[in-house]
Chain A
Amino acid sequence: MEEQSHLQCIAALAVLLPLVGSALWFSLGKKFGEKFVSIGAVSFLALSFACIAYIFFTATLPLRINFFQWLPLGTSSVSFAFLFDPLSLALSMVVTGVGTLIHLYATGYMHGDAGFGRFFSYLNLFVFSMLMLTLSDSLPGLFLGWEGVGLCSYLLISFWFTDEANASAGKKAFIVNRVGDFGFLLAMFCIFKVFGALSIPEILQTVQAGNFSGDDLFWTRLACFGLVLGAAGKSAQIPLYVWLPDAMAGPTPVSALIHAATMVTAGVYLCCRMQPLFLLHLDVLNVIAYMGAITAFFAATIAIFQNDIKKVLAYSTISQLGYMFLAVGLGAPVAAYFHLITHAFFKALLFLGAGSVIHGLHHEQDMRHMGGLRTKMPITFWCMTIGVLAIAGVPPLSGFVSKDEILHNVWGNHDWTLVALAFTTAFMTAFYMGRLWIMTFFGKFRGHHEAHESPWTMTSVLVILAAASALAGILNWPHLWGGSETLGTYLSTVVQALIHHAEDPAHALQSSLTLAVVSSLVGLAGLTIAYFRYRNFSGEEFSSPAFRPFQNKYYIDELYDAIVVKNLRMFGKFLWKVVDGFVLDGVLNGSAALASRTSTYLRQLQTGLMQQYALWIWIGFLILLLGAWTGRS
């Protein structure tokens, strides 16, 4: 892992460019106008992407670049350092690549907005934090990126802060992320307690080499659970997913970049990065798998009943992330990573498509007021179609390949509940994407405004993404089907898959083919049913009360509010009014009042009558006498 100086400055350039950019656009955004900011932002991102690509192609991995010491921890210390290895480079390529495209798209989408400079400053800051997250070599460094992206998502969700709802959505996102970060912090403490260091390569080396006492295993197990909680917080899994649907309050490019392509995948990246640690505790992996599967199924059921186009895509993201965690849980990180990459492409495409639809219909987001747009917005329609088909799992698109590999692993695992959940979710995914597709583009137009196609900056990005999501499948075409599994081999140096069972090659090919046919049939079935159900969609549906819980997202938000928020607020009031006000201040003011009451009482003795004074002298004297005599006082 030698360190060439020129590589060091390239790496620094790649990461620091967005940071410098963000400061520039914030301060100079107003003065120099939109043109300057848009060119600057996109070029800074492109430059950063070029640097990452240069390192990706030329450097001998894994490459460790050290800058300066950050935190002294007594025995060991944490320093700002980058670790370029397959895992981090793959994700950084996606981040900067998709990021640049979305920046280009956003210049069109945000045209005319007052906070134009501010928006791009936050977006660049986000890319900087995301790169810190993916590239940093130590856990605290990763945590810096982790919370940095949390901050940027807070700033971007509440970007149009004049509307109270957006501000509280942003606040909710940051707080729920912080709950996850609590778990991450706890994990770091446990890891430091066992390994005495927080630099990821060191930890993973001791994990592979080391044998652990019972006590150490307790701490590492706690660390794994902490990491799972952190990942769940950031990637919106079951307990902590509530913030993602509300995060749609932010501008669409934000939803595309942060809440679909990059930030939410941080959880998956973390689990893959710390996979050797997880392998010590297979029960934790199982928990991840079940969490993923249940989240996928749960989110899919809600997505079906959403009418807001962005909410549907939000729940679909949660569901797809569920798939990735399912794959990680089953010990197939390569499948998860592949799905992560393909998902980044087609989900970004779907979000940007939805964004262009909304842009065209002047910020109309309710699907019931859309329909028949395929003639008015042809490019968006055709790109969206590729996206829908990809996510539904129609061969030969990338979505089919990556999802099929996950389903293959699930099938191989022979855990029937997981298999059932996976396949029904696949069907539901196809159904609700079909529903979205048909409600927006087919039937007659139910909206108010006159729809028009988006400008070239937006549509060109759509086309590129459409091509990417169509062809991404070749990245990891399975051996069985004659592919070279380039991603698999590329990642094999860092993560290893858990082989569940040895199969003879002939049987393996036959079963994987049947599986592929079954999954594509499920996808097509979902689409056709959706087609026939919504062909001549009139406007309202699911009116019967039976669907009430589904439409209201199982009242989870209200539940959290009632259990957690209301009780905390009441407890706070109790602490303030009773503990502080009544008890502690009561004691204080009480003793002061006691002193002044006794003093007023004693003052009454001063009657001014001299005889009484003499009497008191006698009484005092007698007490003295008695005390002395009995020898007590």
Chain B
Amino acid sequence: MLNSNYLLVLFAFPFLATLIVSMVRGRGQAVTWVSIALALGYFIVVLLGLTVTELRYEATWFLPLGLKYGLYLDSYAYYLILLSSFLTLLALFYSRGVVEKKITAYHALFHALQATVVACLLCDDLVFFYVFWEAMLIPMYFIIGVWGGQRRLYATMKFFLYTFAGSLFMLLGLIAVYIYYYKATGVWTASFQTLMEYFQTNPMPVTVQSWIFLTFVLSFAIKVPLFPFHTWLPDAHVEAPTAGSVILAGILLKMGTYGLMRFAVPLFPEAAQAFAGPLCFLSVVGIILGALVAWQQTDIKKLIAYSSVSHLGFVTLGIFMMTETGWNGAYLQMINHGISTGALFLLVGFLYDQRHTRDISAYGGLAKILPMFTLILVVMTLSSVALPGTNGFVGEFLILLGSFQSNTASWIWVVLASVGVILGVIYMLHMIQKLCYGKPSKPEVETMTDLTWKEWVLYSPLVALVFFMGIYPIWFLGPIQEKTAGIFATIAPFLAK
């Protein structure tokens, strides 16, 4: 069953789901259950492909100038699709009772978001990767825009335009590669695989390679977000509805790092080598800034948003230091961040639905009133603080250990990044103390109800994943290691010895 038209099913299913959900008439409940069923169905379909290593689907549709709908699935793309389908399922299940207005549109948009993300991950053609890379913004634009908080107009506008501006530069870089290949070989194709094989034997001159690499990095850096380009993230997260934040943090941010690992570094290894130093500096600044600023926040969602800046700073550090272990750790940390931050946003959403405020000082003493909630919150905090035994540690340890051995950039960055480990504890425990310990700051807090079975269905898989991947990451790292080894085999000749 696992052949190329499985890929087609993987590609087409979410698009179909979007259509079906938008067609459903009738009261809100029907739409919700249909959409959750479809999300579950897709999650199972994705699970079927667990053993896949590499699948390719040749396109039948001819397009002018050599563009074609090639689909390509490898373990890098596969695990992100798994994470995306899993988080979408959780997000939709969470927003059952929460969303009242325009439910059909809400669910249709989430399925559309998933469809574009999966399409983007599966595209083998650079141009159609770009098309779906931009298309991802539209559903998110509406999700934040229609169901967001007070300043949603400013936030969603800033989110869309910032990412759109960055990716337009990538468009020119992408076309430059596409035409460079045409001029060199006379063949019109933007298929990533053929480009990779070609550039492996006769790479572009470093000057050309550098500026194209920079356009790619600019676009991906905005999405990640890397240090100077991160100011859209706190606004987007604070204004987005809870389910929107879960998907935004869980999946959309990972597209940036996925892009770096899949396209930017393998295509332009020498340029990546040349710019490794400054980019590592930016990552380290992102780690420290993210942690310190998160410490000052009074809005919980903003705190978690800045913590994402800090966590993804580790991932980009792992990528730009260009070592195999570093890359394995970076990829694992992407998935971990998706799980832990997604869970944190769900927890904040749980609080927000009862108290309708995100101000951290409005809570207090939750440990006594909501013991189960505090347990889940502490477990997720430990995962994001990288306590050994949780998944966060495995990711961070591999990144830092791997990067320390690299000779592309100096080991001082890794030492500074490890300082981030300390800062991480400071702001996370600050949050836990303000939320859970001490006396409840307001009488209403007393009347809050603890987790019910609905929440347990949501959180127990996440908690299980946190510990399972913390203790036994091999089941997951095995295929990733092969893929990384493959990439490093191609770019090894260009790396400094």
Chain A interface (Cβ < 8 Å from any Cβ of B): 68-74, 80, 140, 143-144, 146-148, 151, 154, 158, 161-164, 167-168, 171, 174-175, 178-179, 181-182, 185-186, 188-190, 192-193, 568-569, 571-573, 575-576, 579-580, 584-585, 588
Contact = CB atoms under 8 A, between A and B. Distances in A.
Interface stretch (B16-24, B143-151, B174-182, B435-443): B435-443
30 contacts: A68-B474, A71-B394, A71-B398, A72-B328, A74-B324, A74-B325, A140-B388, A144-B393, A148-B388, A161-B367, A162-B365, A162-B438, A163-B438, A164-B438, A164-B439, A167-B437, A174-B425, A182-B419, A185-B421, A188-B401, A193-B404, A568-B426, A569-B295, A571-B292, A576-B292, A576-B296, A584-B228, A584-B231, A588-B162, A588-B231
A595 B473 CA distance: 50
Nearest to A151: B387
B292 A178 contact: no
B418 A182 contact: yes
A164 B411 CA distance: 40
Contacts of B162: 588
A588 B230 CA distance: 11
A560 to B, nearest CB: 13
Nearest to A155: B378
Given A71-B398, A162-B368, A575-B289, A151 B382 contact: yes
B433 A185 contact: no
A73 B398 contact: yes
B293 interface: yes
B151 to A, nearest CB: 13
Contacts of A569: 295-296
B436 A161 contact: yes
Interface in B181-210: none
A73 B401 CA distance: 8
B114 interface: no
A279 B232 CA distance: 53
B103 interface: no
Interface of B: 158, 162, 228, 230-231, 289, 292-293, 295-297, 323-325, 328, 365, 367-368, 382, 387-389, 393-394, 397-398, 400-402, 404-405, 411, 414-415, 418-419, 421-422, 425-426, 429-430, 433, 436-439, 471-474, 477, 481
Interface centre among A71, A144, A151, A580 (most CB of B within 10 A): A71
Contacts of A171: 429-430, 433
Given A193-B405, A588-B231, A168 B296 contact: no
CB-based closest 8 A-B pairs = A167-B437, A572-B292, A144-B388, A189-B404, A161-B437, A576-B293, A164-B438, A584-B231
Contact of A175 (B158, B422, B438, B477): B422
A217 B436 CA distance: 47
Given A73-B325, A189-B414, A178 B425 contact: yes
B438 A167 contact: yes
A182 B421 contact: yes
A175 B422 CA distance: 7
Contacts of A182: 418-419, 421-422
A312 to B, nearest CB: 27
A370 B240 CA distance: 59
A573 B293 CA distance: 7
A179 B421 CA distance: 9
Contacts of A576: 292-293, 296-297
Q: Chain B interface mostly helix, strand, loop or mixed?
A: helix
A161 B366 CA distance: 10
Contacts of A167: 433, 437-438
B330 to A, nearest CB: 14
B472 A68 contact: yes
A178 B421 contact: yes
Contact of A585 (B231, B394, B438): B231
A147 B368 CA distance: 25
A440 to B, nearest CB: 32
Contact of B404 (A140, A168, A179, A192): A192
A147 B388 contact: yes
Nearest to A73: B325
Contacts of B295: 568-569, 572
Given A575-B292, A585-B231, A588-B231, A71 B397 contact: yes
A572 B401 contact: no
A134 B325 CA distance: 27
Nearest to B367: A161
Q: Which of B382, B397, B439 has the most CB of A within 10 A?
A: B397
Nearest to A573: B296
Given A69-B474, A70-B471, A73-B325, A175 B404 contact: no
A573 B419 CA distance: 18
A175 to B, nearest CB: 5
Contacts of B400: 185, 189
Contacts of A74: 323-325, 402
Nearest to B161: A592
Given A72-B481, A576-B296, 7 more contacts: A70-B471, A74-B323, A163-B438, A178-B421, A182-B421, A572-B296, A580-B231
Contacts of A158: 437
Contacts of B297: 576
Nearest to A160: B437
A71 B405 contact: no
Nearest to A192: B401
Contacts of A163: 438
B426 A175 contact: yes
B296 A181 contact: no
B475 to A, nearest CB: 11
Nearest to B394: A71
